[in-house]
Amino acid sequence: MAQRTSAGPPGEPRRVAYLYLLPAFLVYAAFLLYPLVRSIQISLYDWNGNTLATWAGLDNYAEVVTDPALRSSFGHALVLVFFYAVLPLVIGLGLASILNRARVRGLAFFRTVIFLPQVVAMVVIGVAWRRMYAPDGSVNDLLRAVGLDSLARGWLGDYTAALPAVGFIGTWFEIGLVTVLLLAGMGQISGELYEAARLDGAGPVREFFAVTLPSVRGEMAVALTLTVIAALRTFDLVYITTRGGPGLSTSVPSFEVYNRAFQQGRVGSAAAVAVVLTLIIFLISVGITRVADRDSR
Amino acid sequence: MRSRPTTLLATAGLIGAVALAACTPGSNADNKPAASATGQVTTDASKLGTVTLTVWDQEVRGGQAAQIQELNKEFQAKYPNITLKRVTRSFDDLKTTLKLALSGNQPPDVFQANNGRPDMGSFVQAGQLVPLDRYAEAYKWTDRYPETVRNYSSYSTDGKTFGTGTLYGLPQVGEVVGIYVNTAKLKAAGVNEPPKTWADFEASLATLKAKGELPLVLGNLDKWPAIHVFGTVQAQNVQPDAIRTLGFGQKGGSWKTPENAKAAQTLVDWVNKGYLSKDVNGQGYDPAWQAFSKGTGVYLIAGTWLQADLGKAMGDKVTFMLPPSASGTPAATGGTGIPWAVSSKSKHPDAAAAYINFITSPNAMAVLAKNDNLPIADTAEQEATGPLGKAVFEAFGTAVQKNALVPYLDYATPTMADTLGASLQDLLAKKATPEQFLDTVEKDYSGFVSSNG
């Protein structure tokens, strides 16, 4: 056996490990770190994407804070978080515990149906819902059929209804993912726990809060992280359905990034919005994981 | 708690990435022109030797694809010494990739550069386009393309002033926003002839409304369609030259005028009187004109690009007219198809110009017309397919001949399409008064004009 000169844990020398990491790291650096740093750099310039850029310092960031239109777009993203993450989580918890408790036949079938929206491309979903929300679309037909004529409207063109209408598509889309995730978590809960709870005289509701909910905390964190990120970076749905309208009532940061970079030729400003959005997403995801981790210990 | 090596690795990666990204954005673009911008022009393409021209275009749909294929074939047959290497892209793809290609080392020789400041304007600014003035002279384009048409692809050499100056591109087709009329329904409502004056037009809107018809079809969910309706109304209230100043984003104009206020108020009145559907902002553009083609509504303010579809669906029940004018001289929002331009790095600018000349020649105009396109030059002399086509050709011919074309208002500034689109939705939904609407638009316009220098 070779004589080891330095103290340390047995096995191969530590530094070799970096060699194993290198290929993956190179790919990561080329396709993630480099674009990220480059975006930060571009965000400090005033650049039309073509001619030589001029230094702008933090002007682009100041615009993110001061421009009321941009500020409101971040506000809209937070509203979407409610529709994309909170609502699906609540509904998903209900659905999953029902599916989990009820020993119904054809469980796999229901699971598939609920998960189905996830399989369809967002663009297709956007086009389909845009038709359903049209003044003569099926949503209004349905309302009129049950006598709620006063509620019928051009949903996506209505200043108060447009953002919730877009958000609801997100709810419909995310419920499947959340439900299936939670179902998997609930499937792993040992039956003895429920048995013990029942022996203590717990009803279904008590059982849900005392056993089911704490046991799927990890899955809830995963579901929340995924859906919150999806909400904050919503682009395709807004692009297809409303283009940020009516007025500016559904504009969101990602749409602004696209608009500024590719339509208006304001690449610096677009990069600044993107960097701020990245930071917000990063902070929120870290927050969610921290909270979930702390509570589970 | 992160372990030390991870932090170390991340730092190393970041430093590496910073080093890679160190240069100023846009500084790696080498924009030295290969072609000389002066000197004798060779107009006989057969004497240019063996040349390969790379062409990027977005003529990929229906009649557009048919015309360019036919013209390319004729060009190859006539000039066997020139080989065309055609690359086709969709409009959106071309828009996003052209910018990169032009700043690279091997840009296409000839390509379609979208009108407007964010595209063609920025290429001019970067010195990436060959000024076409001397070719315009050599090929006599100036005789066939009037100034109001050439303005759409003209810039000052620094790219800052749009709508005047040096010619940088030449379009094949034209477009104008006018009024499609469902003649059968108009007659049924007791209006026997399409109105000839603006007052008659507004009177017919009232008549139609009284008969329970939807007078005006508009689907404005996509934000931009109302720009064309507003432009049409504005053109009847504001002097064409004032609109050109505003539309091209040139110095010296103002949105805050009584005439513009009257135009904005007219739109609000139309909403109040029920001439427009109350759901305008909730209806998509395509569903709206499709509904019109199936018999909903009587008037549709839209561009000539709907001619082929509406003609097919409605036959002789539909016609097209320039907006009936208030002052006697017609004025209408309109413009050109995407102009063809030449890269300043092209080694064969003469061959490139010869190609552009070929696809815009009188013969090419006939090919365009035959394939359901609206030829931009010699329009009145072309044979249109179908009665609606005839009306469209006539309208556009008149518009060009009488200098009636005013630019799309969203050309003005890089952000104007968004500003105008959003604030017109506000105006139509009565979330903004005409006063507030003009304030918003003026702010965008004057902000850009003052910083543009």
Mean pLDDT (10-residue bins), chain A, 297 residues = 56 79 93 94 89 88 92 94 96 90 78 88 94 93 91 91 96 94 90 88 87 90 93 93 92 93 89 95 90 67
Cα separation, A182 vs A176, whole angstroms: 10
Higher pLDDT, A293 or B52: B52
Cα separation, B342 vs B113, whole angstroms: 9
Residue A139 inside a domain? The answer is yes
> Does the beta-carbon distance from B24 to A45 stay under 8 Å?
yes
A198 Cβ under 8 Å from any chain B Cβ = no
For residues A182-219, one letter each, b for 16 or more C-beta atoms within 10 angstroms of the residue's C-beta and e for the rest, the string is bbebbeeeeeeebeebeeeebeeeebbebbbeebbeeb
> Who among A33, A246, A263 is closest to B14 (CB)?
A33
List pLDDT tens digits, range B103-151.
888 999 999 999 888 889 989 998 999 999 999 999 999 999 998 899 9
CB-CB neighbors (< 8 A) of B20 in chain A: 34, 37-38
Residue A297 inside a domain? The answer is no
> Who among B5, B103, B423 is closest to A50 (CB)?
B103
Q: Report CA-CA distances (Å) from B44 to A3, A115, B70, B174, B433.
A: 84, 65, 21, 27, 59
Q: How buried is residue B263: exposed, middle or buried, by Cβ count under 10 Å (0-12/13-18/19+)?
A: buried
Query: Looking at the domain B175-335+406-452, which fold is it?
Result: D-Maltodextrin-Binding Protein; domain 2 (3.40.190)
CB-CB neighbors (< 8 A) of B277 in chain A: 135
Cα separation, B51 vs B348, whole angstroms: 7
Residue B248: the pLDDT is 94
Residue A186 inside a domain? The answer is yes
Give this prediction's pTM. 0.87
- CATH of span B45-173+337-377: 3.40.190.10
Q: For the residues of B85-151, what is the DSSP string, one character each?
A: EEEE--HHHHHHHHHHHHHSSS--SEEE--SSIIIIIHHHHTT-B---HHHHHHTTHHHHS-HHHHG
Structure tokens at A144: 């009129």
Cα separation, B127 vs B48, whole angstroms: 25
Residue B3: the pLDDT is 46
CA distance B253 to chain A (A): 22
For residues B315-328, one letter each, b for 16 or more C-beta atoms within 10 angstroms of the residue's C-beta and e for the rest, the string is eebbbbbbbbbbee
> Who among A48, A243, A262 is closest to B223 (CB)?
A243
First to last CA, chain B: 54
Q: How buried is residue A237: exposed, middle or buried, by Cβ count under 10 Å (0-12/13-18/19+)?
A: buried
Nearest CA in chain B to A271: B25
> Does the beta-carbon distance from B16 to A158 stay under 8 Å?
no
Mean per-residue pLDDT for B23-27?
75
> Does the beta-carbon distance from A245 to B425 stay under 8 Å?
yes
Q: Are B138 and B170 spatial neighbours (Cβ–Cβ below 8 Å)?
A: no
For helices A138-145 and A122-133, what crossing angle results, to 10°?
40
Average pLDDT value for chain B: 89
Q: Report CA-CA distances (Å) from A93 to A129, A253, A290, B349, B358.
A: 25, 29, 21, 67, 67
A152 Cβ under 8 Å from any chain B Cβ = no
Beta bridge partners of residue B112, listed in sequence order = B340
* Structural domain boundaries, residue A259: 69-265
Cα separation, B153 vs B115, whole angstroms: 6
Q: Are B214 and B236 spatial neighbours (Cβ–Cβ below 8 Å)?
A: no
CB-CB neighbors (< 8 A) of A153 in chain B: 279, 282
Cα separation, B149 vs B136, whole angstroms: 13
- Number of structural domains found in chain A: 1
Domain ranges of chain B: 45-173+337-377, 175-335+406-452
| Chain position carrying tokens 């689907």 | B219
> Does the beta-carbon distance from A50 to B20 stay under 8 Å?
no
Residue A1: the pLDDT is 45
> Does the beta-carbon distance from A157 to B24 stay under 8 Å?
no
Cα separation, B448 vs B453, whole angstroms: 9
Q: What is the CATH number of the domain that holds A79?
A: 1.10.3720.10
Residue B21 pLDDT exceeds 60: no
CA distance A160 to chain B (A): 12
Cα separation, A255 vs A169, whole angstroms: 17
List pLDDT tens digits, range B382-402.
888 889 999 999 999 999 989
> Who among B21, B26, B99 is closest to A53 (CB)?
B26
CA distance A48 to chain B (A): 8
A239 Cβ under 8 Å from any chain B Cβ = no
> Who among B13, B287, B414 is closest to A134 (CB)?
B287
pLDDT band at B241 (very low <50, low <70, confident <90, very high): very high
Residue B162 pLDDT exceeds 90: yes
CA distance A65 to chain B (A): 19
Residue B45: the pLDDT is 86
Residue A22 inside a domain? The answer is no
Residue A291: the pLDDT is 84
| Chain position carrying tokens 């504005």 | B234
CA distance A6 to chain B (A): 18
List pLDDT tens digits, range B187-237.
999 988 899 999 999 999 999 999 999 999 999 999 999 999 999 999 999
pLDDT band at B360 (very low <50, low <70, confident <90, very high): very high
List pLDDT tens digits, range B167-197.
999 999 999 999 999 999 999 999 888 999 9
- For residue A214, which of A175, A179, A186, A187 has the smallest C-alpha distance? A186
- For residue B273, which of B355, B205, B220, B321 has the smallest C-alpha distance? B205
A213 Cβ under 8 Å from any chain B Cβ = no
Query: What phi and psi, each to the nearest 5 degrees, are found at residue B177?
Result: -90, 125
Residue B258 pLDDT exceeds 70: yes
The kind and range of the H/E element at A54 are strand A54-55
Beta bridge partners of residue B340, listed in sequence order = B112, B170
Pick among A38, A44, A48 to test the B interface (most B CBs inside 10 A) = A48
Higher pLDDT, B451 or B269: B269
CB-CB neighbors (< 8 A) of B284 in chain A: 130, 134
Length of chain B: 453
Cα separation, B128 vs B150, whole angstroms: 19
Residue A154 inside a domain? The answer is yes
A33 Cβ under 8 Å from any chain B Cβ = yes
> Does the beta-carbon distance from A157 to B421 stay under 8 Å?
no
CA distance B444 to chain A (A): 13
> Who among B5, B25, B281 is closest to A157 (CB)?
B281
- For residue A41, which of B101, B96, B29, B20 has the smallest C-alpha distance? B20
CB-CB neighbors (< 8 A) of A244 in chain B: 223, 418, 422
Can you list the alpha helix ranges (DSSP code H) found in chain A? 14-28, 34-42, 59-66, 68-81, 87-101, 107-119, 122-133, 138-145, 162-187, 191-199, 204-207, 213-215, 217-232, 236-241, 253-258, 267-296
Structure tokens at A76: 């809209």
| Chain position carrying tokens 């700043």 | B103
CA distance B223 to chain A (A): 7
